[in-house]
C-alpha cells in the first residue's frame, strides 16, 4: 500500500469520488451532503491523498482543507474491496501529518449517523463528537467531530 499526496483530478480517483458521492446519496438526502466538488478540491489549501494498492490502483482517498483555524477532513473513502486493511487509518494519518507540517493544530470533520463504521474509526483515532462548526447547520443528519493535533 502506497499513500501519497496527489491530484484528485485523475480518472481513477474521480471514479472513487463518484462512488463516494453515490454512497452518501444512498444514505442521506442531497441537502444533507456537504461534499466538496472538484474545483474546491483543486484549491491550493487542500491536501488530497490517494491510497494505491500494490498494483498501483487507487483504492482510497481523502482530503484536508487547511485553514488558519483548523484542518477539515473531507472526501474520505475506501473502495469496498480494500476495507478492513487499515487504509482509512493510514490515509488520515498521512493527511494529518501533512497538515501539521503546514501549521494545523486542530482537525474537524462532518460525517453522518448512518456511517457508524466511520464514526468508530474517527473515535479510535482520537476524534470526539462536538457541535456544528463553521457554516454547517445543526443538522440531525450530521455528526461533527474534532481532534487536537
Q: What domains lie within the chain, and their CATH numbers?
A: 2-148 (3.40.630.30)
Pick the closest to residue 133 from 117, 110, 113, 115 (CA basis).
110
Q: Is the pTM value of this prediction over 0.85?
A: yes
Q: For residue 82, what pLDDT is reported?
A: 96
pLDDT at 38: 96
Burial 24-63 (b: 16+ CB within 10 A, else e): beeebeeeeebebeeeebeeeebbbbbbbbeeeebbbbbb
pLDDT for res 47: 99
Q: What pLDDT shows up at residue 107?
A: 98
Q: What is the pLDDT of residue 52?
A: 98
| pLDDT tens sequence for the chain (149 residues) | 999 999 999 999 999 999 999 999 999 999 999 999 999 999 999 999 999 999 999 999 999 999 999 999 999 999 999 999 999 999 999 999 999 999 999 999 999 999 999 999 999 999 999 999 999 999 999 999 999 98
Amino acid at each position: 500500500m502506497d499513500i501519497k499526496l496527489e491530484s484528485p483530478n485523475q480518472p481513477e480517483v474521480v471514479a472513487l469520488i463518484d462512488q463516494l458521492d453515490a454512497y452518501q446519496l444512498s444514505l442521506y438526502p442531497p441537502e444533507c451532503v456537504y461534499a466538496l466538488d472538484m474545483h474546491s478540491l483543486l484549491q491550493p489549501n487542500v491536501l488530497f491523498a490517494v491510497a494505491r494498492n500494490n498494483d498501483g490502483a487507487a483504492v482510497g482517498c481523502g482530503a484536508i482543507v487547511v485553514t488558519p483555524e483548523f484542518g477539515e477532513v473531507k472526501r474520505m473513502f475506501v473502495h469496498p474491496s480494500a476495507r478492513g486493511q487499515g487504509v482509512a487509518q493510514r490515509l488520515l494519518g498521512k493527511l494529518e501529518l501533512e497538515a501539521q507540517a503546514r501549521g494545523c493544530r486542530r482537525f474537524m470533520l462532518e460525517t453522518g449517523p448512518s456511517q457508524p463504521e466511520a464514526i468508530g474509526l474517527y473515535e479510535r483515532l482520537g476524534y470526539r463528537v462536538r457541535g456544528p462548526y463553521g457554516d454547517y447547520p445543526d443538522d440531525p443528519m450530521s455528526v461533527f467531530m474534532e481532534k487536537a493535533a
